[in-house]
Amino acid sequence: MPTPTHTPSAATAHAEPAHTTHHLSAKKLTLHFLEMVVAMAVGMVALHPVWTLVLDAVGAPGLMHDPYTGALIMATNMTVAMSAWMKVRGHRWRPIVEMGAAMYLPFLVLFVPLALGLIGEGALMLWGHVLMLPAMAAAMLLRPHEYAHC
């Protein structure tokens, strides 16, 4: 006589994978976040000399030292490397653009208090980088399914 098999109820079957998926998603989101931070750092280090050479060659080395263009160049360096890594990881262009916006938005917001003399260049760089982290997290939380496959 065959033994009866236990079939989980629909509520139990649905609840278990959701808990596991949520746990794995949080882990994957954290891993992706850390990968993006590493890619940003690589971009800053690797691309800074390229900008220096190009700006020297065109006679505009001062652009690197101007707080506005310097911040935008740094955000570009981070965005290029991060975008390349996201593309390698199989992301679509829309999330890549959103993550790139997270690199620029903090600096753009901070340009206002800088122009008004409320903050200095050091604060611009410090807070621009600090505010990138929650901006990146917000971009990821906007589309968590995008990062589930990472």
Amino acid in the structure at residue 14: H
Q: pTM above 0.85?
A: no
Instruction: Express each pLDDT in 26-80 by its tens digit.
Output: 788 888 899 999 999 999 999 999 999 999 999 999 999 999 999 999 999 999 9
Q: Do the beta carbons of residue 68 and residue 111 sit within 8 Å? A: yes
> What per-residue confidence (pLDDT) applies to 143?
84
Is 100 part of any domain? yes
Is 117 part of any domain? yes
Is 90 part of any domain? yes
| Residues 116-136, mean pLDDT to the nearest whole number | 97
Is 143 part of any domain? yes
Is 2 part of any domain? no
Cα–Cα distance list, 134 to 32, 41, 73, 137 (Å): 14, 17, 20, 5
Residue 111 is part of which domain span? 26-147
Of 82, 113, 112, the residue nearest 97 (C-alpha): 82
Name the domain count of the chain.
Answer: 1
Taking residue 102's Cβ as centre, other Cβ atoms within 10 Å add up to: 23
Is 3 part of any domain? no
Is 4 part of any domain? no
Is 17 part of any domain? no
